[in-house]
Structure 1
């Protein structure tokens, strides 16, 4: 499945998420610098600057995770996904703009909470829409295309953020604005563009939710933690994927509050840190669509396992490298590993979900990832006090646990060709080619 073969509504959702992701990812770089710039006052709640930065960054993830199951469930019951996506993006736009008016830590925390709620309203409905617009034969490819553009936007922001901040002040319509204000306005514009694209180009799919609810004995919108497989009690596959997503997100986000420490350790600028952060995203962009499409042919679980295997050394390496180039390489490999988990995991959960409860089912993964982005900065800010490498070793240990859980608890939902046999065949055929 190629990008041009994707449903136009999925492409519109992908472009919308790319637009608002550019703005959101600006803030990953901007907020720690803004908090440490002296422009924010009002005390640090008795905490260190690194920890209060982690607290503000984490508030987004905690509230995003808490609201997502509710928003996903409501979008299932109403069957009106588009409304949730547009309203959530508008909330996000208002929150992004409000940063330009904030001058104290309490206001920053409240705005960050509002931002988390906006994303929470948007994400489950968006992913459920992609799922509703896909079939079992192309779901992996659709999820891959969607995540490719989302992550492309997420990667552009950090690279440009440092340039925007330090390129200021600017003149906008005759008014002088700082680099920080310019970054907040860009984030606001990204959310507004996303909302406009969805409003104009996306429609809810023709799914009879009421009929599905009746057929499903009232529409059970719950996710079991345990379920029976061949007479043995095991963890539910979607719940297990949620745990793996949680562990992976912690490992990705653990870098965020360490920006100043990493810059000092590697002797680099904020721009280089932005490039390192974006290297993860580049790996995602390169691999998401081909891996998602391949999971439609070879099954979901093998790619998830391979991704988790590569995630472990790539995470540890970030605490061991001594140069910016080494950090860029480690983050890029981590991005490839993440791509091999993302699209197949969402496709596997989508295979399990009925259209009528796709929002609830898929919100388990989006909620878990959001919770991981909340725990990661807090864990990083605390664990680094025990040693520079400690946060990365901790994250790698979590990835190892995720690998074990997925291998033992997740059942394949999409049978296809044997990936191992295909790789062996390709290797043997290549090996048997006569020399020129």
Structure 2
């Protein structure tokens, strides 16, 4: 009999803190982007690539990390990931050339590829089927909070120096690494890991990729891609857009993103379960996609600080509700294949995080409104894909 979430508070808090810190690092770079552009004379395209290279590294390593989580155990992979993250942030803080910044972001992507499947599989191991949706909701809240509040924290700390946010991130990453070493215990025995590993050895990344095309997973994975694409495009361009169009400072950007993230997470924690009960997962996902698409267009015609704040709040809320709906569905559909699903989830997230910022940066150089309009098109395509998502098939998969 597995312990309840309440009985495992300390372990869950460490796990949630770990994944929060990993995704915090992705967002930290956002508010200082305009300053880096000015200091190093970089184009929007280069800045987009700087964000995208993180996701490229995550994409390449995620499938391997998903397998290593099953092979070597959850705890070891999480600890290695946190250590690499600390190193990557330290390098970024010390970097004075673009090549050094790229190296830092590559290491950061590798660290995220380790931490994400490690934490997801760990939580799946220690929670019952009944409590897993709640636990996955907490993970999604931690991911969303880290990804969205990162720019907020980065903007505030940047007041003390443009490189201070990265030294701060490195410090908390090393602290999380040390605390994980002493507090976390491997949730599976050596025998259980050996059994899972034996099954894992029979597969390869190519076979895993083919397996992800199964209708049971594929539409959900495509929506994962759309979510990552839309959010990363919006967030990568947001600070550049706000700086160029409105003259917002890093602190202004930090205020908007911090308030938006708090609003999104509060609604997610207290309302997500009720919204799933009322609407069902499919309708909630569709509502979030449509809302995101409409507000992406609205972003191009507003001008006041208050209007930007309100629109950003609801865009982030849409993404905050979309993520746990998808994560919960995938976890339930996975059964004993938590490593595979977590790895593929990370893979499709990475694909979105590569294409989104790279495309957004290129379009930004052409016209500052184009990235938002393109994000709208992608979200509408995502909505169209969900129409093919059969209710009967979804219900059957959740029962299995």
TM-score (norm 1): 0.79
Q: Name the SS for the 2:31 alignment partner.
A: helix
Deviation at 1:64, TM superposition (A): 1.0
Change (3 A) 1:352 1:295: farther
2:47 to 25, 33, 53: 53
Q: How far apart are residue 136 of structure 1 and its match?
A: 2.4
User: What is the 5 A alignment of 1:147-296?
Assistant: 147-166=140-159, 168=160, 179-206=161-188, 208-211=192-195, 220=203, 222-223=207-208, 225=210, 236-255=215-234, 256-257=236-237, 259-290=239-270, 293-294=273-274
Distance in 2 separating the partners of 1:269 and 1:396:
26
Q: How does 1:15-34 map to 2 (within 5 A)?
A: 15-30=17-32, 32-34=33-35
Q: Which one is further off, 303-312 or 284-293?
A: 284-293
Greater radius of gyration (CA) = 1
In structure 1, what is the equivalent of residue 132 of structure 2? 139
Cα separation, 2, equivalents of 1:4 and 1:312: 38
Contact 1:22 1:156 (8 Å CA) reproduced? yes
- Residue 409 of structure 1: SS of its match in structure 2? coil
Corresponding residue for residue 434 of structure 1:
none
Residue 3 to residue 22, structure 1, CA distance change in 2 (3 Å): farther
8 Å Cα contact 1:87-1:121 kept in structure 2:
yes
From the two aligned structures, give the one with the greater helix fraction: 2
2:86–2:174 Cα contact (<8 Å) kept: yes
Structure 2: distance between partners of 1:373 and 1:133: 29
SS at match of 1:28: coil
Are positions 1:315 and 2:296 aligned together? yes
**Corresponding residue for residue 36 of structure 1:** 37
Shift of 1:68: 0.7
Find 2:284's aligned residue among 289, 303, 309.
Answer: 303
Task: Name the CA distance, whole Å, in 1 between partners of 2:17 and 2:273.
Answer: 19
8 Å CA contact retained: 1:224, 1:239: no
Kept in 1: contact 2:237–2:371 (CA 8 A): no
Shift of 1:213: 6.6
Unaligned stretches of 5+ residues in structure 1: 169-178, 228-233, 416-436
Question: What are the superposed Cα offsets for residues 141-171 of structure 1, whole Å, 9 maximum, x if unpaired?
Answer: 11111222343344443223233223x3xxx
Alpha-carbon distance in structure 1 between the residues aligned to 2:127 and 2:5: 13
TM-score under structure 2 length normalisation = 0.86
- 1:429 is matched with which residue? none
Query: CA distance change for structure 1 residues 258 and 142 in 2, over 3 Å: closer, same or farther?
Result: closer
Question: What is the aligned partner in structure 2 of residue 365 from structure 1?
Answer: 345
- For the 8 Å contact 1:241–1:365, the answer to whether it is kept is no
How far apart in 2 are the matches of 1:274 and 1:348? 32
Match of 2:88 among 92, 95, 115: 95
Q: Give the whole-Å Cα distance in 2 for the aligned partners of 1:291 and 1:245.
A: 21
Q: How far apart, CA to CA, are the structure 2 residues paired with 1:359 and 1:262?
A: 39
1:377-396 CA distances to partner (integer Å, 9 max, x unpaired)? Answer: 21112223443332112111
Q: Are the aligned partners of 1:3 and 1:145 in contact in 2 as well (CA < 8 Å)?
A: no
- 1:347-386 correspondence to structure 2 within 5 Å: 347-355=328-336, 357-386=337-366
Name the CA distance, whole Å, in 1 between partners of 2:267 and 2:155.
26
Paired position in structure 2 for 1:387: 367
Aligned residues: 387
CA RMSD across the alignment: 3.0
Shift of 1:297: 5.3
Distance 1:155 1:404, change over 3 A: closer
User: Is the CA contact (8 Å cut-off) linking 2:45 and 2:365 kept in structure 1?
Assistant: no
* Shift in Å, 1:26: 2.2
Give the secondary structure class of the aligned counterpart of 1:408: coil
